[in-house]
Amino acid sequence: MNFPHLFSPLQVGPYRLAHRVVMAPLTRMRADRTSFAPRQLNAEYYAQRATPGGMLIAEASPVQATGRGNPGTPGIYSQAQITGWRAVVDAVHARGGLIFLQLWHVGRVSHSSFQPGGAMPVAPSAVPITGNGMLAMTADGKMVPYETPRALETEEIEQVVEAFRQAAVNAKEAGFDGVEVHGANGYLLEQFLQSHTNLRTDRYGGSIENRARLLLEITQAVSGVWGAERVGVRLSPYGIANGSGEADPMPLYTHVIKALDALGLAYLHFIEPRSSGAGRAEVNWQNVPSAMVLFRPLWNGVLISAGGFTGETAEAAIAQGHADAIAFGRIFISNPDLPRRLRHGFPLTPYNRATFYGGGEAGYTDYPVYDEMAPA
C-alpha cells in the first residue's frame, strides 16, 4: 500500500505537518458531568492518537453555557475547563503532536434542560427542528421533541461574538496550537447562514451577505486573538445534519468561501455531503456533490476534507488536488495509531458505534495499537 501524497509534509499556517492524516473533531461526551472540564481520561485518549508532526482537532467545545446541547461535552468558558484542556494539550505535545480546539455553539440543537435557568435554547429565529425521527436529548438522557428556540435579539449577537472571542483567549491559555470555528452540521453559525432557519429582518438576516455576517464577525474576532494563520473554519455545504439544508447551497457557500478566503486563514475544513449526519448514524448518501471538488477552485489556502474516507480515497483526493489533508473520524476512534496503520497497510480495527457517546474507557481508550509481532 503506497500513499506518497498522504504521507508528504504540509505547511498549515506556521506549522509543518509531517503527514496529512488529521484527526477530525469528535464529540465523545466524556468530560466531567458537573464542571464540563476535560478529565485525565480525555488526556489519555488524545495522547494515544498524537503523532510527531500530526494534527488533531479536539472535539467541539461550547464557548458559553447557553451553547451546550449534550451531556458530558467539555466547554472552554471556565477556569476549570481551561485547566482540564491544558492537561490534554500537554499530553499531546509530549507526543510531538499539534492540537487545535473546535469552538462551538449549538444554538437550537439543544433543550431547556441544558440551559441556565431552564430557558429556551437560542437561535437566529424561532424555528424548531422538526421532521421524522428528529428528537432532542435532555440533560437526563431522555429523547423528546425539540422545543421552539428563542430568537436572539440583535444586541445579544454581540455577546455571542464576544463569547467566541473569549473562548479563543481561553484556548490560548490552555496551550492549544490554534482553533477551529464550527460553522457546520446545523449548529448556531450554520443556522444563521441558511435561509430556512434565519428569518431575521435585521443586519444578520435576509441577504446572503447578512446571513454570513455572524460567521465572518466571529472568525475575525477569533483571528484577532490568534492571528488568522492559526484559525480554521469548518463548513458542511449540502449537509443535512440537525435539520440543516439550504435549498440552493451554491450561491450561499460561494459567497462564504470567497469571504473566508480573503482572511488568510490556516485552513478550511469541509464535511463531505455523503457523510452529513453529525455522527448519529451510519450515513453514506449517494449521488450528492463533493464539497471539495465543487469549492476547491474558490479556496486558495489549505483545504481539509472529512467524511467516510479510506486510505485509498484520501490518497486520491490529495493526489488529484481536491484537498490538502484528510480528517478521519470513526476509524481514528478505533485505531489510535491510524497514521501508522495507513502508512504500512496494517488492518484496521472496526469501531463500535454503541460506545461513541458517554461512558468511560470502553470504546474510548481501550482500542489497541496494531501489534506487528502478534500471530495472524
22-57: per-residue pLDDT in tens?
Answer: 999 999 999 999 999 999 999 999 999 999 999 999
**Residue 294 contacts residue 272 (beta carbons within 8 Å):** no
As a whole number of angstroms, the distance between CA 217 and CA 163 comes to: 12
User: What pLDDT is recorded for position 132?
Assistant: 82
Please report which confidence band the pLDDT of residue 65 belongs to, taking 50, 70 and 90 as the band edges: very high
User: What pLDDT is recorded for position 133?
Assistant: 85
Q: Give the three-state DSSP class for 176.
A: coil
User: What pLDDT is recorded for position 279?
Assistant: 46
Mean pLDDT to the nearest integer, 320-344? 97
As a whole number of angstroms, the distance between CA 172 and CA 165 comes to: 11
How confident is the model over 9-24, as pLDDT tens digits? 999 999 999 999 999 9
Q: Which residue has the higher pLDDT, 8 or 274?
A: 8
Q: Residue 347 pLDDT more than 60?
A: yes
Mean pLDDT to the nearest integer, 140-151? 95
How confident is the model over 215-242, as pLDDT tens digits? 999 999 999 999 999 999 999 999 989 9
Q: Residue 102 pLDDT more than 50?
A: yes
- Give the three cell numbers for residue 194: 441558511
User: What pLDDT is recorded for position 277?
Assistant: 54
Please report which confidence band the pLDDT of residue 273 belongs to, taking 50, 70 and 90 as the band edges: confident
How confident is the model over 172-217, as pLDDT tens digits? 999 999 999 999 999 999 999 999 999 999 999 999 999 999 999 9
Active site residue ranges: 187
Averaged confidence pLDDT in the chain: 95
Which 8-state DSSP code applies to residue 350? P
- Global pTM reads 0.96
**Residue 105 contacts residue 173 (beta carbons within 8 Å):** no
Mean pLDDT to the nearest integer, 83-100? 98
Q: Which residue has the higher pLDDT, 278 or 89?
A: 89
Q: Residue 287 pLDDT more than 90?
A: no
Q: How far is CA 180 from CA 146, 229, 293, in A?
A: 27, 11, 22
Please report which confidence band the pLDDT of residue 282 belongs to, taking 50, 70 and 90 as the band edges: very low
Sequence-ordered strand ranges (E) for the chain:
10-12, 15-17, 21-23, 55-62, 98-104, 122-123, 135-137, 143-145, 150-151, 178-182, 231-235, 267-271, 302-306, 325-328
Please report which confidence band the pLDDT of residue 276 belongs to, taking 50, 70 and 90 as the band edges: low
Mean pLDDT to the nearest integer, 252-266? 98
